[in-house]
């Protein structure tokens, strides 16, 4: 064999050499990997390299001492109805509901400290208790006077507050409880993926509710690649050389694709989750203590000192750590602290600027710490793009993709919440009495001011302010 003929031609040889050099460069980066976040790897913040903010495996069941909670949750499955629902099917479940709530009230107060050495069991305790609280509160039949505060019994309130303090997370149903921790594997021998997971707890028992969680989970899993991009960026030893800059540019391009995918996932919900079912049959179960707005009745956590200070809003995808990571990476200024253009409109100024920051208190503490460590990066990508002409456009493209996502999300949120708030709950099984319709419409709309999110905020002001804050990150306008 002629050895000269099997050697690569000079251009090919050069390409091979470059590939080798690049892969060496990448492996050096990967070796340094993950010492970037204040000296910790993402894993130290319970962020998995393959599943992101999801645990790799479903949460294990609690030990037998806590069977009373697990049993109560299993017994509730499909047997409770919304307290405000007076359809025939709902009324048929009332007797069971009354007995179930009596059982909850009579449960002993269990100490969760034995679970605290195990993160997954602590999360499981939060998950089970938080579901029990919302099932308890929202299955109580509406009284003629809905200004009465709701009492959450000690048996749920005390251990939920205890385990939440340990986890550093709000003592109430959160995005983690409904999405991140609410699944099991279809095939336990295969890894977690959107096709290999099924949601376990449902309030309404509808396919629509399942699809709602599924879309959120899909967005969250699509975000795992985004976390890798952020991590790669933070791991670059320096960002002044050409190779690093072209990697950042490529990754910003990949980011556009990921954000567009998440945007599509949000829109894909339309044929799978009926807006009317969402508004009248699913969403009421999510409401937190402040859903009725300022001045509305609050929940009383029995036996808990200073319960007024607890964070008790309902779950929201605004608590998705993936979306926060994206905002932090692109340096979206929700709090209007930077001088950016176009200047905030008067509506923007009236919006709740603390919403996104407040939503972080509803995340598992470790995930919140992960976000804080991202925010503490010594080299924000927006600044780098500002000072590097070749990165300006790729950066702006990523910001524009996020703005598009928020535009699409506003359309979905308006359809599912604002438009539906003007409809009637008539499609529920049976024919609801007109008194009930009147009461519901009244409680949802009149006298309560603007339509609110489950987080208790003024919905359209909030979402538009988020979209406009995103747009303000664009370099071409600044
Ligand atoms: C039927 C589908 C959806 C509806 C009706 C909906 C509705 C809402 C509402 C009402 C809010 C206001 C905040 C609050 O909850 O109080 C909100 C916020 C938010 N939602 Fe959704 N959402 C949907 C799907 C999703 C999905 C799949 C994601 C994916 C991550 C998502 C991401 C967000 C984010 C990040 C916020 C915080 C505000 C912002 O960043 O603009 N939503 N959503």
Q: Is there a contact between 104 and 153 (Cβ–Cβ < 8 Å)?
A: yes
Q: What is the pLDDT at residue 125?
A: 99
Name which residue sits closest to atom 38 of ligand 1, judged by CA. 318
Gap between the Cα atoms of 181 and 58, Å rounded = 7
Q: What single-letter DSSP state applies at residue 280?
A: I
Note whether residue 35 is domain-resident.
no
Name which residue sits closest to atom 37 of ligand 1, judged by CA. 318
Q: What average pLDDT does range 316-320 have in this prediction? A: 97
pLDDT digits (tens, 9 = 90+) for 113-141: 999 999 999 999 999 999 999 999 999 99
Note whether residue 447 is domain-resident.
yes
Q: Which two structure tokens, joined as six digits, stand for 220?
A: 């969250």
Q: Is the peptide bond before 342 cis (omega within 30 degrees of 0)?
A: yes
CATH number of the domain where residue 408 is located: 1.20.58.480
Cα distances (Å, whole numbers) of residue 168 to 11, 12, 16, 171? 57, 55, 50, 9
Note whether residue 160 is domain-resident.
yes
* Dihedral sign computed on CA atoms, order 460, 453, 47, 54: negative
Mean of all residue pLDDT scores within the chain: 89
Q: What is the pLDDT at residue 291?
A: 86
Tell me the residue range of the domain where 174 lies.
Answer: 52-182+202-471
What DSSP string describes 78-127? TT---TT--SHHHHHTHHHHHHHHHHHHHS-----GGGTT-HHHHHHHHH
Note whether residue 194 is domain-resident.
no
Cα distances (Å, whole numbers) of residue 478 to 341, 344, 386, 407, 463? 6, 13, 10, 21, 22
Q: What average pLDDT does range 185-214 have in this prediction? A: 98
Note whether residue 478 is domain-resident.
no
Gap between the Cα atoms of 350 and 8, Å rounded = 66
Name which residue sits closest to atom 21 of ligand 1, judged by CA. 317
pLDDT of 432 higher than 80? no
pLDDT digits (tens, 9 = 90+) for 230-261: 999 999 998 889 999 999 999 999 999 999 99
Q: How many CB atoms lie within 10 A of CB 283?
A: 21
User: How many angstroms does the Cα of residue 318 sit away from the middle of ligand 1?
Assistant: 6
User: How many angstroms does the Cα of residue 9 sit away from the middle of ligand 1?
Assistant: 55
Where is the binding site for heme b, in residues? 409
Please count the structural domains in the chain.
Answer: 1
Note whether residue 27 is domain-resident.
no
pLDDT of 25 higher than 90? no
Note whether residue 229 is domain-resident.
yes
Gap between the Cα atoms of 344 and 354, Å rounded = 15
Q: Is there a contact between 198 and 186 (Cβ–Cβ < 8 Å)?
A: yes
Report the half-sphere exposure of 68 (CA within 13 A, side-chain side).
14
User: How many angstroms does the Cα of residue 317 sit away from the middle of ligand 1?
Assistant: 5
Gap between the Cα atoms of 107 and 103, Å rounded = 6
For tokens 């949460």, the residue is: 59
In short, whether 316's Cβ falls inside 6 Å of ligand 1 is yes
pLDDT of 316 higher than 50? yes
Note whether residue 34 is domain-resident.
no
What are the residues facing 151 on neighbouring strands? 300
Ligand 1 pocket: which of 318, 355, 471, 472 to mutate (most atoms <8 Å of CB)? 318
Q: Which two structure tokens, joined as six digits, stand for 207?
A: 């396919």
Q: Which two structure tokens, joined as six digits, stand for 404?
A: 């598009």
Ligand 1 pocket: which of 272, 316, 371, 467 to mutate (most atoms <8 Å of CB)? 316
Q: What average pLDDT does range 286-294 have in this prediction? A: 89
In short, whether 160's Cβ falls inside 6 Å of ligand 1 is no
Gap between the Cα atoms of 78 and 81, Å rounded = 8
């Amino acid at each position: 064999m002629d050895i000269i003929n099997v050697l690569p031609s000079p251009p090919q040889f050069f390409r091979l050499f470059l590939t080798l050099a690049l892969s060496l460069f990448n492996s050096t980066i990967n070796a340094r990997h993950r010492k970037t976040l204040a000296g910790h790897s993402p894993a130290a913040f319970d962020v998995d390299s393959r599943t992101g903010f999801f645990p790799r495996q479903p949460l294990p069941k609690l030990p037998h001492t806590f069977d009373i909670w697990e049993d109560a949750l299993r017994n509730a499955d499909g047997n409770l109805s919304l307290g405000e629902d007076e359809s025939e099917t709902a009324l048929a479940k009332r007797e069971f509901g009354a007995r179930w709530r009596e059982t909850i009230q009579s449960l002993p107060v269990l100490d969760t400290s034995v679970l605290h050495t195990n993160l997954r069991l602590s999360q499981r305790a939060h998950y089970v208790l938080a579901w029990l609280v919302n099932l308890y509160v929202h299955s109580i039949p509406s009284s003629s006077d809905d200004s009465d505060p709701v009492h959450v019994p000690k048996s749920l309130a005390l251990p939920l507050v205890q385990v939440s303090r340990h986890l550093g997370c709000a003592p109430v149903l959160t995005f983690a409880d409904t999405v991140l921790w609410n699944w099991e594997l279809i095939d336990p021998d295969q890894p977690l993926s959107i096709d290999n997971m099924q949601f376990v707890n449902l309030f309404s028992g509808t396919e629509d509710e399942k699809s709602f969680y599924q879309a959120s989970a899909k967005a969250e899993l699509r975000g795992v690649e985004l976390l890798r991009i952020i991590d790669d960026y933070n791991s670059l030893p320096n960002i002044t050389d050409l190779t690093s800059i072209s990697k950042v540019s490529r990754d910003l391009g990949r980011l556009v694709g990921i954000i567009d995918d998440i945007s599509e996932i949000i829109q894909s919900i339309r044929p799978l989750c009926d807006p009317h079912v969402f508004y009248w049959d699913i969403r009421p179960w999510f409401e937190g203590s402040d859903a009725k707005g300022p001045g509305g009745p609050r929940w009383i956590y029995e036996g808990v000192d200073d319960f007024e200070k607890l964070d008790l809003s309902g779950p929201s995808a605004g608590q998705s750590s993936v979306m926060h990571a994206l905002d932090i990476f692109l340096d979206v200024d929700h709090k209007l602290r930077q001088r950016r253009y176009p200047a905030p409109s008067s509506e923007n100024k009236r919006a709740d600027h603390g919403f996104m920051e407040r939503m972080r208190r509803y995340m598992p503490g470790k995930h919140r710490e992960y976000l804080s460590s991202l925010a503490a990066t010594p080299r924000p990508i927006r600044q780098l793009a500002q000072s590097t002409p070749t990165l300006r456009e790729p950066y702006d493209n990523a910001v524009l993709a996020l703005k598009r996502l928020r535009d699409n999300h506003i359309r979905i949120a308006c359809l599912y919440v604002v438009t539906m708030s003007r409809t009637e709950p008539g499609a529920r099984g049976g024919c609801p009495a007109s008194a009930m319709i009147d009461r519901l419409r009244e409680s949802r709309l009149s006298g309560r001011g603007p339509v609110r999110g489950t987080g208790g905020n003024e919905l359209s002001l909030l979402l538009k302010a988020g979209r406009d804050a995103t747009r303000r990150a664009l370099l071409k306008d600044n």
